[in-house]
A and B are shown apart, each in its own frame.
Chain A
Amino acid sequence: MTLVVHAIDAGYGAVRVLHQLGFSARAGEVTCILGRNGAGKTTTLRAIMGLLPLDAGAVHLGDEDISALPASETASRGIALVPQGRRLFGALSVSENLDVGLMARRASSTRTDNDIREHVLTLFPRLRERMKQRASTLSGGEQQMLATARALCIEPKVLLLDEPSEGLQPSIAALLRDTTRQLAEDGVAVVLVEQHIDTVLALADKAILIENGRLEKSLAKDQLDATVLSRHLGV
């Protein structure tokens, strides 16, 4: 199923951050969102989730206009967010964080809670040993795994990942990269905000570049190379 963002305007109070931003993310593909700090990448994902009201434009998932729904309904349509900075429920245990994800699962889901929990724990076995631990006491890498696992509990059709590799050691970043690729191969539409050029090159099927909240450029897979990216990311 394709997620289509139609020329959205959004912002915080009187401050408009996104201007006529539009793009689409197809099932089975990784769509990367690139842009400098403050360009509006996180704001874009929040707007898709419905956490930020749209001043104009719409977001469609398949045939449905999901921007007309209350924000709490977005998850039930199969859209999951792995936010920047993880934002776990810190005082809750690892297991309870997964429970919150399981509660939000799509109504059409046919698998049991246990099946899904087992599935995500197979992806991230380190979490299994820490089920009773408070999420805030996990290491950074474990927290990122939990944030991802929590999102996967809703069996997403669309997965929004906001800088998942920020501050992680290379091996854990690689594990998350493999997981992301596998999810796309399984048919999930992945939207990935990413600053690391090698990760973008390894994963992206296409990329959009945001500058000052506007769509600056859309790059197909064959247009992605290190020189182009480093010029746009200003690194």
Chain B
Amino acid sequence: MEFGPHLVLALLEGSITAAVLALTAAGLAIVFGILRVVNVAHGEFFMLGAVIAWFVTTTLADVFGASPAVGFACAAIIAPLTTGLIAMLTDKLVLSRINYDPERTIVATIGLLYVLQQLTLMSFGPDARPVEAPFNTRIALPWPELGPNGWALSWPWGFGTTTYKLFVIVAAASVLVSLWLLLKHTRIGLIMRATEQDRDMATAFGVRVNRVYSRVFGLGAALAALGAVLVVPIQQAHYLMGGDPLLLSFIVVIIGGLGSVSGTVLAAVIIGLTDGIVSVFFSATLAKIIATVAVALVLVFRPQGLLGHRAP
């Protein structure tokens, strides 16, 4: 394959990484922005999403003979919902009791990370398990080429993608747009943003801050779980799969500007596309190195991140 089609393929792969990363990191960003806590267990919520998706699809297939599409649709609802509820429960049992103290929350969520991981290992086992994609038609892509008779479309061998991969990009983008609409144009979004700005004044204006915190923590976890549901037909569920999403989410949240959802999405797109290109043309390890160097450069030269605001 020539360079052009190869690059497009790399960008497509990068877009999928970007889409899933943007969803997952947006979850981490709203939790950081509004609760002002770092959730080290965020990657485990991602992992739970994948594992629950596997459980739902296989159970529905084995017990009711449901098709992969039906199973996936149910998983896309049940996995984020369950994960969100588990997160709200941990908020109630742990975070609210330590009053969202930043340092203690880090320690507590490290503990939570191991608890969730080991519980999953005990119940789900150590194997990676696949989830069948709801649809997976191959689409060959055309490439314009200048021949003796002017421009013509050719169909390079191996140049194509699948309907499911395109679906992942569209689905993630739609969820992010919905999140943006929720934050900017609804009453609950206004309450969330006011709480983010000034917790005390929000309280003085009738906002039940603890309830907002609990819901935002649940929403953040649900976004990670949804990212995992989208990726699990491509990547397989495994009890240790939370590490990479956690690290990459931290990287893009820092590059984007702590707590800034739009900055996080922008950074996810940049890191995702770079990852795609570098992985395809060079190596996946180099891609990780570049992301890590990028975060170091941002921390040194633009500590508030791409779209973040300088601390007042």
**Which of A75, A92, A99 is within 8 Å of B204, CB to CB?**
A75
A74 in contact (CB, < 8 A): yes
Stretch from B9-17, B143-151, B192-200, B268-276 that touches the partner? B192-200
Q: How many residues of B contact A (CB 8 A)?
A: 19
User: Within the complex, what minimum Cβ distance (angstroms) separates B102 from chain A?
Assistant: 17
**B205 with A75: CB separation less than 8 A:** yes
Decide yes or no: A70 and B190 within 8 Å by CB, A89-B197, A89-B198, A89-B201 being known contacts. no
Contact A72 B209 (CB under 8 A): yes
Chain A's closest residue to B195 (CB) is: A89
Q: Is there an interface contact between A87 and B205, defined as CB atoms closer than 8 Å?
A: no
Name the contact of A72 in the complex, choosing from B187, B198, B203 (C-beta under 8 A).
B203
Question: A83 contacts the other chain (Cβ, under 8 Å)?
Answer: yes
Q: Which of A15-23, A25-33, A100-108 contacts B (4 or more CB under 8 A)?
A: A100-108
**Interface: B191 (CB within 8 A):** yes
A131 → chain B closest CB, angstroms: 15
* A81 at the B interface (CB under 8 A): yes
Residue ID in chain A nearest B208 by CB atoms: A72
Interface pair B201/A72, CB less than 8 Å apart: no
Pick from B197, B204, B206: contact of A91, CB under 8 Å: B197
The complex places the Cα of A224 from the Cα of B203 at a distance, in Å, of: 35
Any chain B CB within 8 A of the CB of A76? yes
CB distance from B101 to the nearest CB of A (A): 13
| Total A-B Cβ pairs within 8 A | 65
Contact of A81 with B204 in the complex, beta carbons under 8 Å? yes
CA distance A50 to B207 in the complex (A): 13
> Does A90 touch B at the CB level, under 8 Å?
yes
Residue A96 is within 8 A (CB to CB) of chain B in the complex: yes
Chain A residues with CB below 8 A from B190, complex form: 92, 96, 99-100, 103
Interface string of B203-227 (1 = CB under 8 A from A): 1111111000000000000000000
Which residue of chain B lies nearest to A76 when distances are taken between CB atoms in the complex? Answer: B206
Complex Cα distance A118/B202, Å? 23
**Shortest distance from the beta carbon of A163 to any chain B beta carbon, whole Å:** 16
Cβ–Cβ contact B198 & A87, under 8 A:
yes
Partner pick for B191 among A49, A75, A101, A103, CB 8 A cutoff: A103
A154 close to chain B: CB less than 8 A: yes
Give Cα distance in the complex from A90 to B191, angstroms: 14
- Contact across chains for B204 and A49 when beta carbons are under 8 A apart: yes
- Tell me the chain B residues, 298-312 only, with Cβ under 8 Å from chain A: 309
- Listed A/B pairs (10) with beta-carbon separation below 8 Å: A51-B203, A70-B208, A72-B203, A72-B207, A75-B204, A83-B201, A91-B197, A100-B205, A104-B207, A150-B205
Lowest 9 CB-CB distances: which A-B pairs, in order?
A: A104-B206, A89-B197, A104-B205, A75-B206, A72-B208, A89-B194, A71-B203, A100-B194, A87-B201
